[in-house]
Amino acid sequence: MRIIFAGTPDFAARHLDALLTSEHQIVGVFTQPDRPAGRGNKLTPSPVKTLALQHDLPVFQPKSLRPEESQQCVASLQADVMVVVAYGLILPKAVLAMPKLGCINVHGSLLPRWRGAAPIQRSLWAGDAETGVTIMQMDVGLDTGDMLYKIHCPIEAEDTSASLYGKLADLGPQGMLHTLTQLEQGTSKPEVQDESLVTYAEKLSKEEARLDWSLGAEQLERCVRAFNPWPVSYFVIEEQPVKVWQAQVIDSNNSAAKPGTVLAADKKGIQIATAQGVLNITQLQPAGKKPMSAQDLLNSRSEWFTPGTILN
């Protein structure tokens, strides 16, 4: 089939790479405009653009698909299907109707749970037992289209957003290719989403990453994993933010100490009382430093974590 691919980050590039090894013809690649990146703020192409150019594919980078010029560009490619993966631009109704078989989207959750921008992080933070990938037929709503295919993925106790991102980036291309085959053969069976089961995955904010000791240790541990690698959970001590990269729950029972109180600090970690249980922090990153073990930080900043100290 004639395929238009639309995507931007590495997650999307993994799907484009799978398409390149398939029998389908990629007639055009849409990705967001180059953005300033790095210390020099040099204009940098997206991972999708980089991969597309390596394979001499035509690349289009409109700022929006609403202008008539952008829509004429899509129409001129005469695609059978448009595959959209983390593109970052809204597809107007006119564009959705241009490919013969419509537009399909690869979404990183088991819809209708976690519609929206941050499904991987929200599923981790909520303590979901599993997540997955849903391939859906796109419509004008936010992740509201009929579901064409699902792949399930268990969430392991040690998973972070980074590790789960990698797992779904492996599963997504499989689901995408399977769905394209079904569309081509006319065997797909669209399933309407159950609106009573809908939850929303709002975009993450840095403010959410601040550890709230009035929560329980289990929820805080999930927060640490959900916000790794961005924006990274943190607490504040002596007006300095300290990022938390790794932590474990060592006691889920009530503590007599006030939430946020340092209970102990040694080579095993920094133990903090929470509203429900104790959180043991094992890897941290003070401002201006690289991530380090709790022991290494205690070697230089042991006064920060004297038992009885209350963290903000």
Residue 66 CA to residue 63 CA, distance in Å, equals 9
Alpha-carbon gap, residue 272 to 261, rounded angstroms: 6
Q: Are 100 and 81 in contact (CB under 8 A)?
A: yes
Token reading at 34: 């180059």
**Residues within the annotated binding site for (6S)-5,6,7,8-tetrahydrofolate?**
109-112
The tokens for 25 are: 């013809």
Structural fold of domain 206-305:
Methionyl-tRNA Fmet Formyltransferase; Chain A, domain 2 (3.10.25)
Q: Is the pLDDT of residue 54 over 80?
A: yes
- Cα–Cα dist 8/131, whole Å: 22
CATH superfamily placement of domain 2-201: Formyl transferase, N-terminal domain (3.40.50.170)
* Domain boundary assignment for the chain: 2-201, 206-305
**How much is the pTM?**
0.93
Residues annotated in a binding site: 109-112
What is the gyration radius of the CA atoms in the chain, in angstroms?
23
Per residue in 183-221, pLDDT tens?
999 999 999 999 999 999 999 999 999 999 999 999 999
Nearest CA-CA partner of 105 in 74, 140, 131, 130: 140
pLDDT at 164: 98
Please tell me the predicted confidence (pLDDT) of residue 152. Answer: 98
Where are any strands of DSSP class E within the chain?
2-7, 25-30, 35-37, 42-44, 59-60, 81-85, 103-107, 115-116, 130-137, 147-154, 200-201, 233-237, 240-251, 262-266, 269-273, 278-286, 292-293
Residue pair 255/263 in contact by the 8 Å Cβ criterion: yes
Residue from 117, 129, 173, 165 nearest 149 by CA: 173
pLDDT at 255 (0 to 100): 73
Torsions phi, psi of 18, nearest 5?
-65, -40
Other CB atoms within a 10 A radius of the CB of residue 312 amount to: 12
Query: Which pLDDT tens digit goes with each residue over 231-271?
Result: 999 999 999 999 999 999 998 777 789 999 999 999 999 99
Q: Report the share of the chain in percent with pLDDT over 90.
A: 96
